[in-house]
Structure 1
Amino acid sequence: MGEEGIALAGLLHDIGKLMLRASVAGRYTWERTAQGDFGYKHAMLSATFVEELVPAQWRKEVLGPVGYHHKPQSRRDRIVQLADHLSAAERNDGLQDDQPRVEHPRQLLSIFCQLEADDQMLPTTQRRYLPLQPLRLEEEALFPKDELSPDEVWRRYEALWDGFRRAAEALRDAHANGGDLPTYLESMLLLLQRYTWCVPSAYYGSLPDISLYDHSRMTAALAAVLDRPEVDDAWLEAMKQKPEASPREVALLVGGDVSGVQEFIYTITASGATPSLRGRSFYLQLLTEAVARYVLRRLDLPITNLIYAGGGNFYLLARPGDLAHLTAIQREISRVLLQHHRGALYVAVAGLPLQGADFFSGRISEAWGRLHEHIQQAKLRRFGELEPSELAQLFLPLGHGGNKEQQCQVCGLEHPNTKAERAGADAEPVHKCPACLAFEELGDALRRARWLQWTEGKPGAEAMALDLTAPPGTYDQVLAAFGLEAALLERAPEAAPTAARQVLLAIDDDGLAEIQPTPQTAVGRRLLVNTTPLLTSDERQALLQDPHFPEEERRQLPLAGRVKPFSVLEHGSRGIQRLGVLRMDVDNLGALFQRGLGEQASLSRVAMLSFAISLYFEGWVAKLAEEVNQATRRLPAQGGRLYAIYAGGDDLFFVGSWDAVVELAIAVRRDLTRYAAGHPGIHASGGIALVGGKYPLYQAAEDAKRAEEQAKALHWRLNGVHRRKDAISFLGVALPWTLFGMEDEAEMPNLETVHGLMHELTGLVQEGAPKALLRRLVEFYGEHTEAQRRWQLTQGQSGWVDDSQVVWGRWIWRSVYTLKRMEERTRQNGPVRQRLAALRGALHARDYRLFQRLGVAARWAELLVRGKDGD
């Protein structure tokens, strides 16, 4: 059975815990005293699961290590026992005097409750727990809350077990006649993710802070790398005595990092760029996973050994001896990328041996930090692993040079098969190379797709010879070189046997119910932010008749159902016509992984933290984008106004109608706090740039990046507390989120925040207050900004925002006077007059410290009521 068999045993060794908490134990009277004691009831139930729900052909090899991992009787039993121990390391007993041991089943503690971030930890009284629901993108399933009653916990465990059991039965039956173990293993891994991601691996006598899913998959990974010739009974016995101090090499932590991502996505011209953007971005996600799976196959490791793949990075667990193979694998990867991307993309691969001691006392985080250093060193030697004769090809002349017919107007490279394509019937033709055309097709397929299908083929990277005189290929040729084919499907394929192994992943929650496993097809869920704005028929017709929409853009309009060009997103903005470009990521993420868990850091906890963050950015952000699209839509026929260029790992990049982009940033930051159990040290910073639709994308990306850096450089003081980051830069001003605002747009405007003040000012103008109010406030704010800049330079505090201070000057009394005059001018409009008076009162009550926020809000509101909306 090889590595897959021992990995399956590691994956299922604790499944009996789910059964035990679902009261399954009362339904069995089976005893096996003749073959030894299982040690714990959950181990007996795990063995029961194997006997009843694992296909018959694999039961014998899996049963022993699963049932006897607490009281091993064979070498394989001892391997799973050690893997179990190393995966969990020291479970956190962090119980307080006022927290007695609880015997009834418990929920999983949010991983964020265990983190130290910004020198803060959540008090034990504020701990929050996951709601014991199958994984799906709904608030009641994802967001941590107070603990449920014991009766409700019992009920939810029974529901989880019932769903898992029925899916396990279907999987068993699919593999009843022979089956395929690697496919079964991956299906079971995906099944455990769906049902046990929220289930604690332990709770009696310890905090329930490690998920059964993450503990089980890391146990499986360790079992696979421990099942090697030199790991005999004597080796295992020596490790068992004191693994936390053992210098023996247990595993190899391998990491990969895709570099050149920003240039690859953003440095394309405006001509025909919009359709291919999403395809390029999605291809990078596919490439990351394809390379990770290629490394696994080259090292003969099962899928359980892939710890994480996303955000242009991957991590996996290998054998210590596999370090010697990484240079050859790196060379094979580089040949493929250099052949097809001409140096634009590079994957740096590095490995770090892990000793037994590295799994304990939080040292796994230190190991992760050392691995990152190795990866950075590999990136500095970009393509240095290639042979001299291969590197010499980089200096050969390529292409004809200046052949306009063969030059792609999207990426700028020459290709002999470049074609002229039209976006619309009256549009000018745009020359596009095969690679860019393929990216367009990929992006076009993605917007309609409900399933992603991976098909395994024979990799060609090992035997590939670098020949830069041959033209570069398309994305599917790159993936094929790594032995995979990716297909996006609108309709679920029939559950029929196939010749090659496949993985079929639902892109939405509903799609998962429409697919079934087969002997060669593993099924599961794929988190993906697939927010793509499409041009509706009604919207296209309205644009063709809109005198404000430029004639040139009307000629270039694509057909209905295609991706909206930037010009349409710009035109669809509320108020001034601009694109909003948003870049945003979690603050201090490296520190969270390296120091946040302290001595409690274990392989399982690190994997759990990684999964939790990716679940938010690769899953929940999609829901937020959908909600913002609905809430900010100006006309029923308008369609989406947000375009997800990238969302994964811990960051995102969106382009869209500028007003919708700002609301999305607010929603992402607002829900991150709730998702992170209210931890004040878990936060994100972002930058927003406003640009025209023809503005070069690479420059817009740089502008947004600089805005994000401005936010991350911010030092601020609020209520006497000094903080850094946790800010947003918008309209050239960086402010803490606390002052900028994170309230829902539908809520009552909060006059303490920029967001709330903006809604109040906009509402006042729309309900009768003169627009001159906004112009005067913006004018006064300009005076204040210049005075503040001069003062900060004299104080050496140009990066500070201090809520306890205000820069005094004539702009303050002039603002108060203007508000008073506006009250008099609107005395016939009682509600507006009262709100103006309330605004003036709020300014006075806060000792005029609201003035800066009021000025930014006035600029924001002025943009919203200008342009075509203000005519």
Structure 2
Amino acid sequence: MSEDRRERALKLALAGLLHDIGKVALRAGDTGASRTWDAEAKQDYGRLHALLSHDVVATLVPPTLGGEEIKHWAGQHHRPYQREHYIVRLADRLSSGERTETEKEDEPATQPKQLLSIFSVIQADGEDNPHSLYWPLRPLDLNDGATAGQWFPAAEWDSKRVAQAYGKLWGDFKNQALTLKQAHSNGGDLETYLETLLLLMQRYFWSVPSAYYRSLPDISLYDHSRMTAALAAVLAGTDLSDGQLMALAQAPESQDTEVALLVGGDLSGVQDFIYTITSRGATSALRGRSFYLQLLTEATARYILRRLDLPITNLVYVGGGNFYLLARASDKTALEEIRRDLSHILYTHHRGDLYMAVACLALPARDFFAGRISARWQELGEHLQAAKQRRFSELAPKDLLSLFAPQGHGGNEATECQVCGREYEDVEVYEPGVRKCKACLAFEKEVGDPLRKACYLVWDFEPTLPTPPTSLALRDRSSPWSEVLRSMGLHVHIEQALNGLHPPKGRRLVLALDEASLKSVRPASNVAVGRRFLVNVSPIVKREDVQGFGEAYKKQTGQDLQEGSIKPFALMEMQAEGIKRLGVLRMDVDNLGHLFSQGLGQKATLSRVAALSFAIGLYFEGWVGVLAQQRNRKHGDCVYAIYSGGDDLFFVGAWDQVVELAMDIRRDLIPYAAGHPGVHASAGVVLISGKYPLAQGARDAGQAEERAKSLKWWDKGGKAHKKDAICFLGRALPWSRFGYLLQESVSFETAYDTRVFLEGLLKDKSANRAFVRLLIRLDERYQEEIEKRRRAGKDLGADRRPQAFWGPWNWLFEYYLARMERMYQKEQLLQNLRTLRSEMRATFHQRIEWVGLAARWAELKTRK
């Protein structure tokens, strides 16, 4: 594509991004239009907000970047008369997926609304959400002092508060946008300007509805505008005639004309790449490898966009090793070439350990309407799965042969990296006497270690993309992570401060990792700035750790604790209460594919799919980090994030705190998802010793998570459920019985509450450990018998539900509780014992599920 066409695509993307900006001005009461809103003005613009969008662009977009053109393209989308107007109009229609325009007139400025949570309109587990809750009108600010009550969905505010919030958001956005304009006043880079503006709109308009008058206000202005921008950039390159484009813009819902290409990427090999490293240097190296995969996924998406000359607005979603973007319908051939080049790059540097499956699907105009986009999204997922089954199949035959060629002589221990297990000629010995290859050392020293104190993530873009390789060039050494990204034209810096960076050769993107750092960055003509949400929870060894655990740590490991370094797993193990073990947690959202393919039903539009992706990603990339930081602050920094993003997470730390963190995450998912009963997550937690291979621990936790996801259970009303469970200490329980809803008073409704009671007995010495061990033995005996009945097919009744199963454990439990009541005189203790006895007598076949688990939990928590 020529430079002129590339610039045209960027300008149309900017027009699409700002086409509805006048709505915010209107709601904020900033209605000082450049023209009197009379019949003539209405004839020219159609809607007052369109005229205001024209004026806002004229005020905020520098003329040096094409502001004069862009203001007309953005402002005329309701009264188009030029090709560019029709492009923005069509992009707007495709983004919203509306069959006909629902806004027959402008929104009443006196009745502004909040954004209805996307979780209030989806269907999940066959259920609609009975709650209509709204996001707060506030900037997206997730510092670790944030509370769920500040920004989770809630009841609507009163009109006065809404009006004030709009005024504040609009004023703050305008100030930031004027600062951005000043940075580009003497020239600048259109792509840099566009990216900063996109990040500004995310911050200020993430909870502002794109429409509410006679419309369902569940799509944010940010999500709708960025999808309109993406489609406008795509349509900038269409070869449709003016007449065809006009006709398509008038009635796209019935047209089979291909208007875009939905492109997806899925990184495979992740499990082995992260988990197969040894425990030597694992703490920093593991975090480094995990974060590198996040960088690699985003770098790949940006590489494809640059190769196709498309702006960042076309990146619909990136996270969890996946990305989705919009390209032109004519980009299929170019995409095939890019796939081959990516495979050359990844195999050259990673020797087949990592592979990026890339697939695409043409989207006719009609697919953006009547909920069809969900089915297309699902179809693309199937194409990606098929591509993953044929890794590197896009390579030429001569390259495919080299995949199976012998790789070195092998078997030489002196050349083996003791972290990743591969052999390289340049392996060197580092302190404390461990052989490491350059790649593993780089993950540890250049990624894992800097992340612990990082405030900024800096992306530098080479002015010209490197020439892609035409064939495999296998190396006799490992490639440092930076070399892989450099082959895609990117240099990434993980920085605590910015004053030591050299000026960029081309564009630069500075992403602040916390709110304090965001206040310290300013845009420049070639520097885009914004906020990046990242669960960057890496506990640091403090002086009190050295004083409290240094001697024991050295005795166990033979090494000194280094103040300021990332806490080693052995230290977090020592911090656990009770038994000294690490906890490994893996967790993800249940039925996510079904949520995207079926959850929105007929309401599915591109903007709604983008909104749902953004909302889920924000919880796992933003709020989970807040929860982990809060828990670390209260309990001595003993929880470590290996990964959290997309819809899943992986944590390691002191076992007792890891379990509590899992409950925190599940508990807050309820209000975050607007109380939707069908939006939930399952988790697996296992306990391992510090010497246990972390790779195996990760696999064990994954198997525990799968066990939780395979659980079928019935609620008190007799309704059957699947998933929404946790597997801990080998027992899978639904969260409602495990205990994420913590009770203020003593209750035996959950394993958690029962554990708290039993733990209190042990700590108060009100009961000896023999009683708790008796509960464990009774549970084991019960489980043995019930398993025999399962194998014999006698465990289910006629209604296919588990039957009550009585046996010696019933009367033994009753007998020992009665003995305890005669032994102790404390009134509160007696009352609690009687409650436990009464509840167990009434529903023993249900409560036995968690009494044994609670007893084991309490015993481990109090073990010396």
Which range moves more in the overlay, 700-709 or 457-466?
Answer: 457-466
d(CA) in 2 for partners of 1:170 and 1:178?
14
Correspondence for 2:773 among 772, 775, 798: 775
Which range moves more in the overlay, 62-71 or 133-142?
Answer: 133-142
Question: Counterpart of 1:435?
Answer: 439
Contact kept? 1:495, 1:515, Cα under 8 Å: no
Gap change, CA 1:469 and 1:208, over 3 Å in 2: closer
Query: Which amino acid in the other structure matches residue 71 of structure 2?
Result: L
- Structure 1 vs Structure 2 CA RMSD: 2.4
Query: Which amino acid in the other structure matches residue 519 of structure 2?
Result: A
d(CA) in 2 for partners of 1:230 and 1:331?
27
SS at match of 1:850: helix
Question: Counterpart of 2:4?
Answer: none
Contact kept? 2:267, 2:321, Cα under 8 Å: yes
Question: Counterpart of 2:466?
Answer: 460
d(CA) in 2 for partners of 1:275 and 1:799?
52
Contact kept? 1:570, 1:577, Cα under 8 Å: yes
Query: Which amino acid in the other structure matches residue 362 of structure 1?
Result: G
d(CA) in 2 for partners of 1:742 and 1:800?
32
SS at match of 2:127: coil
- Residue 853 of structure 2 is aligned to residue 856 of structure 1: yes
d(CA) in 2 for partners of 1:295 and 1:204?
38
Contact kept? 1:90, 1:600, Cα under 8 Å: no
Contact kept? 2:540, 2:567, Cα under 8 Å: yes
- Residue 762 of structure 2 is aligned to residue 765 of structure 1: yes
d(CA) in 1 for partners of 2:657 and 2:300?
35
SS at match of 1:448: coil
Question: Counterpart of 2:3?
Answer: none
Correspondence for 2:688 among 691, 715, 731: 691
**Alignment deviations for residues 553-581 of structure 1 (CA, whole Å, 9 cap, x no partner):** 1x134522112222222222111111111
d(CA) in 2 for partners of 1:750 and 1:664?
21
1:470 CA displacement: 3.8
Correspondence for 2:10 among 4, 12, 16: 4
- Residue 286 of structure 2 is aligned to residue 277 of structure 1: yes
d(CA) in 1 for partners of 2:77 and 2:736?
50
- Residue 51 of structure 2 is aligned to residue 44 of structure 1: yes
d(CA) in 1 for partners of 2:397 and 2:244?
43
Contact kept? 1:773, 1:822, Cα under 8 Å: no
Gap change, CA 1:94 and 1:56, over 3 Å in 2: closer
Which range moves more in the overlay, 366-375 or 195-204?
Answer: 366-375
SS at match of 1:262: helix
Question: Counterpart of 1:122?
Answer: 129
- Residue 193 of structure 2 is aligned to residue 189 of structure 1: no
Contact kept? 2:345, 2:469, Cα under 8 Å: no
Correspondence for 1:660 among 657, 660, 673: 657
d(CA) in 1 for partners of 2:498 and 2:53?
33
d(CA) in 2 for partners of 1:26 and 1:44?
10
Question: Counterpart of 1:609?
Answer: 612
Question: Counterpart of 1:821?
Answer: 819
Contact kept? 2:139, 2:203, Cα under 8 Å: yes
SS at match of 1:460: coil
Gap change, CA 1:141 and 1:518, over 3 Å in 2: farther
1:400 CA displacement: 4.2
Which range moves more in the overlay, 535-544 or 196-205?
Answer: 535-544
Query: Which amino acid in the other structure matches residue 682 of structure 1?
Result: V
Correspondence for 2:249 among 211, 228, 240: 240
SS at match of 2:323: strand
Gap change, CA 1:102 and 1:733, over 3 Å in 2: farther
Which range moves more in the overlay, 673-682 or 773-782?
Answer: 773-782
Gap change, CA 1:65 and 1:452, over 3 Å in 2: same
**Alignment deviations for residues 622-679 of structure 1 (CA, whole Å, 9 cap, x no partner):** 0111222234x2xxxxx41111111110001111111111101111111111100000
Contact kept? 2:259, 2:329, Cα under 8 Å: yes
Contact kept? 1:713, 1:799, Cα under 8 Å: no
Question: Counterpart of 2:385?
Answer: 376
1:87 CA displacement: 0.3
Q: How many residues align?
A: 845
Which range moves more in the overlay, 731-740 or 21-30?
Answer: 21-30
Contact kept? 1:103, 1:204, Cα under 8 Å: no
d(CA) in 2 for partners of 1:5 and 1:35?
25
Query: Which amino acid in the other structure matches residue 477 of structure 1?
Result: E
- Residue 310 of structure 2 is aligned to residue 301 of structure 1: yes
**Alignment deviations for residues 374-396 of structure 1 (CA, whole Å, 9 cap, x no partner):** 11221122111112222222233
d(CA) in 2 for partners of 1:692 and 1:326?
47
- Residue 103 of structure 2 is aligned to residue 105 of structure 1: no
- Residue 78 of structure 2 is aligned to residue 74 of structure 1: no
Contact kept? 1:762, 1:861, Cα under 8 Å: yes
Contact kept? 2:460, 2:504, Cα under 8 Å: no
Question: Counterpart of 1:733?
Answer: 731
**Alignment deviations for residues 213-272 of structure 1 (CA, whole Å, 9 cap, x no partner):** 000000000000111251331121221343111010000000011000000000111222
d(CA) in 2 for partners of 1:296 and 1:143?
33
Correspondence for 2:632 among 629, 632, 647: 629
Question: Counterpart of 1:311?
Answer: 320
Correspondence for 2:592 among 572, 582, 589: 589
SS at match of 2:682: strand
TM-score (norm 1): 0.93
d(CA) in 1 for partners of 2:790 and 2:467?
57
Question: Counterpart of 1:573?
Answer: 576
Query: Which amino acid in the other structure matches residue 654 of structure 2?
Result: S
Question: Counterpart of 1:489?
Answer: 495
1:91 CA displacement: 7.6
Q: Which runs of 5+ in 1 are unaligned?
A: 423-427, 634-638
Question: Counterpart of 1:54?
Answer: 61
Question: Counterpart of 1:425?
Answer: none
1:329-348 equivalences under 5 Å are 329-348=338-357
Question: Counterpart of 1:15?
Answer: 21
1:667-816 equivalences under 5 Å are 667-718=664-715, 719-744=717-742, 747-770=744-767, 771-795=769-793, 805-816=803-814
d(CA) in 2 for partners of 1:453 and 1:559?
28
Q: What's the % identity of the aligned pairs?
A: 50
1:850 CA displacement: 2.3
d(CA) in 2 for partners of 1:363 and 1:784?
50
Query: Which amino acid in the other structure matches residue 511 of structure 2?
Result: L
Question: Counterpart of 2:139?
Answer: 134
Question: Counterpart of 1:403?
Answer: 412
d(CA) in 2 for partners of 1:368 and 1:300?
23
Query: Which amino acid in the other structure matches residue 581 of structure 1?
Result: V
Question: Counterpart of 1:165?
Answer: 174
SS at match of 2:44: coil
1:845 CA displacement: 4.8
Which range moves more in the overlay, 567-576 or 386-395?
Answer: 386-395
1:460 CA displacement: 2.6
- Residue 540 of structure 2 is aligned to residue 534 of structure 1: yes
Query: Which amino acid in the other structure matches residue 121 of structure 1?
Result: D
Query: Which amino acid in the other structure matches residue 754 of structure 2?
Result: L
Q: Which runs of 5+ in 2 are unaligned?
A: 1-6
**Alignment deviations for residues 28-64 of structure 1 (CA, whole Å, 9 cap, x no partner):** 6656958961111111111111111111222112011
Gap change, CA 1:707 and 1:245, over 3 Å in 2: same
1:192 CA displacement: 0.4
SS at match of 1:640: coil
d(CA) in 2 for partners of 1:275 and 1:541?
22
Gap change, CA 1:488 and 1:112, over 3 Å in 2: same
- Residue 187 of structure 2 is aligned to residue 178 of structure 1: yes
Question: Counterpart of 1:636?
Answer: none
Gap change, CA 1:519 and 1:494, over 3 Å in 2: farther
Gap change, CA 1:595 and 1:474, over 3 Å in 2: same
**Alignment deviations for residues 181-236 of structure 1 (CA, whole Å, 9 cap, x no partner):** 00000000000000111010000011101110000000000000111251331121
Contact kept? 1:130, 1:141, Cα under 8 Å: no
**Alignment deviations for residues 709-729 of structure 1 (CA, whole Å, 9 cap, x no partner):** 111111111121011111111
Correspondence for 2:259 among 250, 253, 268: 250
SS at match of 2:95: helix
1:859 CA displacement: 1.0
